[in-house]
Amino acid sequence: MIPSSQTTRNDAPDVLIVGAGPIGIETAIELGRRDLRALVLDAGAIGQQILEFPPATRWFSSPERLSIGGIPFTTPSAEKGTREEYLAYLRQVVDACKVEVRTFQRVETIVPLADQSGHRVTSTSLSGLQHVIDVPTVVIATGGTARPRQLGIPGEDSPHVHRSIGEPHRFHGRRVLIIGGKNSACDAAVLAYRCGARVTLCHRGQAIHDRVKYWIKPELEAMLRSGQIEGCFGMVPLRIEPDGVVLRSLENDATRTVEVDDVLIAIGYESDQTLLQKTGVQLLGSEEAVEHNPLTMETNVPGMYVAGTVVAGTQAKFRVYIENSHVHARRIAAALSNSEAPPEPVYNDLPES
């Protein structure tokens, strides 16, 4: 028998938010400012998807674009923040704004109540304790990078295949093939080389992506020109073997084998829309973007809202980021307090755009 606890309607929050990332936290703050009590649940830690970044990862966005709830995110260097700095910022915001967060409590099901007054949310804590809460309104803010994208080739699940560079020190003296041509792959290639790895970069394009950030692209291009990093462009992996990766040319189907000790697949992430699917929320197309009212963020399921990058599902080309999702929190808070929807924000172009 699974131990359980039940929250009565008298004790229940006005809104339950699934996801303790930046936008989930910001939504709770905006609701609190309108005297609506919000409870935030997350299957992991606060900012779990950010916690999974490699150590010392620097954000591509400027601090002002990552600030939530009107609380400035400042960095000691006045430069773009690191993973560690932003996690510390999120903890401080949660404490300062008294956001009620329960971490490591995975939401399993969300079902409508028989009297149509809200939803019954069942969650399970890390210890196995089951919790049941009846709540009028639910906001899904689970983000868009829940799991790595798959190549769908043999050997992809081998123990020497990685999805994140993690601590690059571990690659010293090793032959590393990095698959991908955008920011994460390019940044990883430079880091691994600096830590003493013999790096080969494989990308299906004829060059690294045009929109690789300006502080990464020139250095990597110089390393490729000098031969410090080998480039296998216009090629895709066919299979991963214990001591090598077989690549195929997109131009003439010729193959070559690159000898490796490690493989890093850095081709992006997917959103996990399973919870939305189970609750009957309408998803659109192969990206599984969420059908919703853009003025209120409410889905086709009454009392069910979405916020943040989960709105766009698995994005082939990124359109929704943290920095343009802040308005989602204000729209939801306005809708639930019967206030006028906030105007569409104007986003200034910045060099990193």
90-103 pLDDT tens trace: 999 999 999 999 99
Cα–Cα dist 269/153, whole Å:
17
Full residue range of the structural domain in which residue 29 is found: 4-147+269-336
Does residue 353 form part of some domain? no
Where helices occur in the chain by DSSP H, the ranges are 22-32, 48-51, 63-66, 83-96, 183-194, 217-226, 274-278, 326-336
Question: How far is residue 339's CA from residue 36's CA, in Å, rounded to a whole number?
Answer: 13
- Same domain, residue pair 28 and 76: yes
CA distance 320 to 318: 6
Same domain, 143 and 285: yes
Counting the structural domains of the chain, the total is: 2
d(CA 194, CA 210): 23
In a domain, 85, yes or no: yes
DSSP helix/strand/coil, 199 = strand
Domain boundary among 235, 265, 295: 265
Answer positive or negative: Cα dihedral of 67, 70, 75, 80.
Answer: positive
What length does the chain have?
Answer: 353
Q: What is the pTM of this model?
A: 0.90
Considering Cα of 251, then 256, then 259, then 263, what sign does the dihedral take?
Answer: positive
33 shares a domain with 128: yes
The count of other CB atoms within 10 Å of the CB of residue 225 is 10
Please report how the helices 183-194 and 217-226 are oriented relative to each other, as an axis angle in degrees rounded to 10: 60
Residue 342 forms part of a structural domain: no
Q: What is the pLDDT of residues 280-335, one digit of tens each?
A: 999 999 999 999 999 999 999 999 999 999 999 998 777 898 999 999 999 999 99
Contact 93, 99 (CB under 8 A): yes
Q: Is 253 inside a domain boundary?
A: yes
pLDDT digits (tens, 9 = 90+) for 28-74: 999 999 999 999 999 999 999 999 988 888 898 999 999 999 999 99
Q: How many CB atoms lie within 10 A of CB 4?
A: 12
Give the residue from 282, 232, 276, 278 showing the smallest Cα distance to 257: 232
pLDDT at residue number 321:
87
Assess whether 249 and 133 both reside in one domain.
no
Mean of pLDDT values over 162-178:
96
Q: How far apart are CA 209 and CA 258, in angstroms?
A: 22
What are the φ/ψ torsions at residue 343 (nearest 5 degrees)? Answer: -70, 160
Burial of 116 (0-12, 13-18, 19+ CB in 10 A): exposed
Residue 61 tokens, joined: 């966005």
Same domain, 212 and 134: no
In the predicted model, is pLDDT for residue 279 greater than 70?
yes
Q: In whole angstroms, what separates CA 313 from the centre of its chain?
A: 11
